[in-house]
Copies of this chain bind each other. A is one copy, B any other.
Amino acid sequence: MNFKKRIATFLMISWLLIPAMSLAGEHPSLIMTKAGVEKIRAELGTVPLFDATLALVKAEVDAEIALGIDTPVPKDFSGGYTHQRHKQNFLVMQKAGALFQILEDEKYAHYVRDMLFQYEAMYKNLPVHPQTRSYARGKLFWQNLNDSNWLVYTSQAYDCIYDWLSEEERRKLEDNLFRPFADYISVESPQFFNRVHNHSTWGNAAVGLIGLVMGDDELVERALYGLQDDGLEVGAKDNDGGFIKVEGQKVGFLANIDEPFSPDGYYTEGPYYQRYAMYPFLIFALGLNNVKPEAEIFKHKNGVLLKGVDALLNLSDADGEFFPLNDGQKGMSYYSRELVTAVDIAYHVGGQDPRLLSIAEEQGQVLLDDAGFSVAAAIRDGKAEPFEKRSINLSDGPDGKQGGVAILRYGDEDLTLVYKYAAQGLSHGHYDKLSFSLFEKGDEVLQDYGLARFVNIEQKGGGNYLKENTTWAKQTIAHNTITQNETSHFEGKYEVGSEHHSELQFYDDSNSDVQVVSAIEKSAYPGTLMRRTMAVIKNQSFEKPFVLDIFKLKSNKKNQYDLPFYFMGQVLQVNFEYDVPALLRALGKENGYQHLYVEGKGKPATNDTKFSWMGGNRFYTLTSATNTSDELYFTRIGANDPEFNLRRDAALMIRRKDSKGTVFASVVEAHGSYSPVSEFAVNSKSNIATLNVIYDDDNYTAVAIEDLQGDKSVFIVSNANTSATQQHQVEIETRKHEWTGPFHYFTMEQ
């Protein structure tokens, strides 16, 4: 069969006008357009990043073609051969389709066609996948989620060879493969398709994309608005514990934009899943934008899809790795294929932000499509500008009123505080109200554990979530926040947690030397009000910035409060006595406590408990205002973990018993460094002499920090009125202080 060249006259129309035109009926039209392809072909060899990516992808696809096509009978979980092979297949088909368009070499079209027909032959009689763990089993994969991945990628491949196939071939593929496939993951799997969840986003996008290619408006409508009558009962749950149907909730692709994205572009499941969902969001949106520009999808909800890309880039550390909030696998970064997609599309359709080009340069690759070409050409033309991450406050919730995540950065990400005061985050959320994590450059100083899963590593529970994700990673004690009475927030009940969220009190990054965020949580423990104010402060007496943490509790009864600090590194020194047990036993029996060994237990020796550690050849010190009745624990993760699913990381935990109202006030200093090559230890000690809560009532809490030079600084936070314009006046230790706004930080005269 010959390749039919059809260069229509509209190809002469200016590049800039393309996005506004409907390409309905044209192929390709999803991620590539005829006009775009012409431009790519014309400039091949002159666009270094595109050319380099093309060479790499060509080598990869050529190797796969040489290997031959395999579409094994589905059998395995993630990580197993049949799973990996089918996954590899759709990734390679998508690339082969693009290569066919760009290089006009029919071997790529043949490859896609032949593989599609193997799937066509197999799919007709394919039963549901034999693995039964999923609430929505797929056919090629153990869950419909992965089947949807397949269709999202395969739709793009089909689009690329659509015109090249005969009508008969298309009819056969559409009747026997694509339409049944789309129906299976939608009408036959309403519990999967009709939700607000990243799973459904994939399902919606898959159905919508194949609908766009086939010109099937019914499928596109189904994708955008979901199934009208799904027959689902309210309250049913999936195998991750997430709700399937929520009373009155809209469904479909648009609802999946409206609900989980805040107006700031924060996705309620957290950055790891935002990264995962961005691909179907943006690919389907791009196709829709090409074929049905009248939908103005990129303007939906004030352009939240593009804001989401910016938010996601900001949710990464200095190495580009995403903060592992909620269920997040550490190491996932903006170097992932999903973020290459996101950055390229955001640049292409989102106003050519030149800062995105520097990220694309770091990624070292672009999409082999119109968007990727735009990016590569702009980089070639020297348009890239640095993407400087600054402090940012991202609201959570569809209307931005369900808490959020604040990221306070000092300098060039020299110190980055991630403070989470968000909503539950759907089924991948953790019970971690008012928790935080801390980074110096790209290194974790105080960690968020992330998920308990080895994604796609078959030996570890099929590569799926491990039970320790529920028993440990989601529990409150696994986080750097308060656990009351050894019970997780909302008693670890998803139904309850999903009804509540923390509330921002104030956020102020206007002074880079004193950046502050404060939030409260009223519902995690009924009857207890938690208020945590965190500041990143650069005081000239200190070498590096430090974090001030004021965690105030007020309850209607006496409780036990546990506040752990999951430090990364090795203990250097403490200023308190402690006993080390001869036998290591678990700290508790449930709610995550069963996974913590007690390596040491002590009591504060003074009012300032000090703990220094070394991590990544840098020094850190926690100084905390403590009572002599507090208990101090060295804990280590790993108890009741028979399969070694958990990392053996450590924490220092402060326990305060029999307290109604109390304040945990702490400073975490980063200081100095060590070189194992020069063997010089620089500034290895804390600069803090004393830290005291010098005032605390319903209106104000004040903390005084005296450094080794004898200088004293005071931080006063308002607990009652946190408006930026409110004037305050309070007398502390016989001195009167006046200021405007929710907090006041000043250095005392000696």
Contact = CB atoms under 8 A, between A and B. Distances in A.
Interface of A: 79, 84, 329-333, 335-337, 454-460, 463, 570-573, 580, 582-586, 597, 599-600, 612, 614, 617, 634, 636, 638, 640-644, 647-648, 650, 674, 676-681, 684-685
Contacts of A640: 580
B597 A84 contact: no
Contacts of A647: 570
A612 B572 contact: no
B597 A457 contact: no
B459 A679 contact: no
Of A329, A454, A650, most B-chain CB atoms within 10 Å: A454
Closest 3 CB pairs of A and B: A331-B676, A571-B644, A584-B584
Of A331, A642, A681, most B-chain CB atoms within 10 Å: A681
A332 B84 contact: no
A459 B569 CA distance: 15
User: Chain A at the B interface: mostly helix, strand, loop or mixed?
Assistant: loop
A332 B676 CA distance: 5
A87 to B, nearest CB: 8
A634 B642 CA distance: 11
Contacts of A570: 644, 647
Given A580-B642, A584-B597, A79 B681 contact: yes
A571 B614 CA distance: 25
Nearest to A334: B677
Contacts of A573: 459-460
B612 A459 contact: yes
Nearest to A636: B648
Of A84, A573, A650, A677, most B-chain CB atoms within 10 Å: A677
Contact of A583 (B571, B584, B677, B680): B584
A330 B676 contact: yes
Contacts of A634: 644
A457 B614 contact: yes
A156 to B, nearest CB: 18
B584 A678 contact: no
A459 B614 CA distance: 11
A458 B642 CA distance: 38
B684 A457 contact: yes
Contact of A648 (B336, B337, B600, B648): B648
A196 to B, nearest CB: 24
Given A459-B685, A570-B647, 20 more contacts: A79-B681, A84-B680, A330-B676, A331-B617, A333-B676, A333-B677, A336-B677, A454-B572, A457-B572, A457-B684, A458-B681, A459-B572, A459-B684, A460-B572, A463-B681, A571-B644, A580-B642, A584-B585, A584-B597, A634-B644
B676 A329 contact: yes
Nearest to A583: B583
Given A572-B457, A572-B460, A583-B583, A332 B677 contact: yes
B456 A335 contact: no
Nearest to A331: B676
Contacts of A463: 681
Contacts of A597: 584
A625 to B, nearest CB: 22
Contact of A643 (B571, B583, B648, B674): B571
A612 B454 CA distance: 14
A456 B681 contact: yes
A363 to B, nearest CB: 10
A458 B619 CA distance: 12
Contacts of A679: 329, 332, 455-456
A599 to B, nearest CB: 7
A67 to B, nearest CB: 14
A448 to B, nearest CB: 15
Nearest to A644: B571
A327 to B, nearest CB: 14
Contacts of A600: 642
Contacts of A642: 580, 600
Nearest to A649: B648
Contacts of A457: 572, 614, 674, 681, 684
Contacts of A585: 582-584
A426 B262 CA distance: 66
Nearest to A455: B679
Contacts of A680: 84, 456
A415 to B, nearest CB: 22
Contacts of A582: 585-586
Contacts of A571: 643-644
A260 to B, nearest CB: 21
A163 B614 CA distance: 47
